[in-house]
Amino acid sequence: MSAKPVRWMMTEVGKPLVPMEFDIGTPAPDEVVVEISGCGVCHTDLGYYYDGVRTKHELPLTLGHEISGHVIDTGADCLWYADRAVIIPAVIPCGRCDACLRGKATICPNQKMPGNDIHGGFATHITVPARGLCVVDEHRLAAAGIELADLSVIADAVTTPYQAVVQAGVTKGDLVIVNGIGGVGGYAVQIAATFGGIVVAVDVNEDKLAAIAKQGATLTLNAKQMTPRDIKAAINVFAKQNGLRQTEWIIFECSGTRAGQETAFSLINHGATLAVVGFTMDKIEVRLSNLMAFHARAIGNWGCPPELYPDALELVMNGRVKVAQFVEKHPLSEINQVFEAAHAGALKRRAVLVPTP
């Protein structure tokens, strides 16, 4: 290790992130040290940085929870991970509590989220619990022409919608609506399509809609040009023309905006499922009685249990879900400029920050 490890630290809301050298130290028996290959920039990171969403770890803190890299040191209880390429779960459950033992790892009260509970991935190295690490076969990765840094986004942008699709119960022939296709939503479209869903993509960006039309969306609608009522009417027409059910639509709200959440709620019909995947601090006004009247349901989606990561990774490795063409890599040293561009909506693809010598 020629250079000292560096973390880019958030010291205050909206203040420039600053690089700080640190000592890695010795991992605990159940921990590993990972040399980071890439860390994706997520909407949640921007929420912490620009909107003052509170982190559980006090500032200063290194953000970033979409992380891939190589294990360079291990504790005594996890030697098997030595020298492995891995994806670190965005939310790491303890595996021992009552919730974990009952298969409810996403609500584990002891979970650790890099960039929230502990220092995150906008750094050269990170020490994390070994539990749930997703091992990547580097021979297959090379054969597929994918870089390990690209796979960082699996830790949230891919696995979160994967968990959402599994939880919502998407099956062949379901009419699926994905509202907001930047980042998480774009992968929600692809994943729902692999489960057999007939997918309608809704967004305000025409370029993103054109791109996702080639990756699983059968119908694309521009919400900037339509009212929520118009969108629902257009989907009804589409369903009739294609012999799809007029009921039980599965709606994934991935925009993380007030307008998007209100639009998604307005699309509820009889027996519908509304899966809330995107996050916003904004409050919205809806008539909850619609859930009762339509015998519909609304469910939240927080992260993804580590045991689902290998299946999500396999969709990428076998080419059914595309990752590389939906990310753009930048040097970690450009983090402040990349955050600014992401916040302004100037990026067409999800940014992955890559440590450089």
159-300 shares the fold of 6-156+304-354: no
Residue spans per domain, the chain: 6-156+304-354, 159-300
Superfamily of domain 159-300, CATH level 4: NAD(P)-binding Rossmann-like Domain (3.40.50.720)
Which residue in 134, 143, 158 sits closest to 326, CA to CA?
158
Report pLDDT for 1: 42
Per-residue pLDDT of the chain (357 residues; tens, 9 = 90+): 447 999 999 999 999 999 999 999 999 999 999 999 999 999 899 999 999 999 999 999 999 999 999 999 999 999 999 999 999 999 999 999 999 999 999 999 999 999 999 999 999 999 999 999 999 999 999 998 899 999 999 999 999 999 999 999 999 999 999 999 988 999 999 999 999 999 999 999 999 999 999 999 999 999 999 999 999 999 999 999 999 999 999 999 999 999 999 999 999 999 999 999 998 889 999 999 999 999 999 999 999 999 999 999 999 999 999 998 889 999 999 999 999 999 998 988 899 999 987
Report pLDDT for 281: 86
Report pLDDT for 2: 46
Report pLDDT for 182: 83
Distance in angstroms (rounded) separating the CA atoms of residues 50 and 52: 6
Distance in angstroms (rounded) separating the CA atoms of residues 347 and 159: 22
Could you say which of 3.40.50.11740, 3.90.180.10, 2.60.40.4070, 3.90.700.10 is the CATH number of the domain covering 6-156+304-354? Answer: 3.90.180.10
> Which CB contacts under 8 angstroms, 24+ apart, belong to 232-236?
232/266, 232/267, 235/175, 235/177, 235/200, 235/267
The residues, ordered by sequence, that sit 6+ positions from 144 with a Cβ below 8 Å of its Cβ are 317, 319
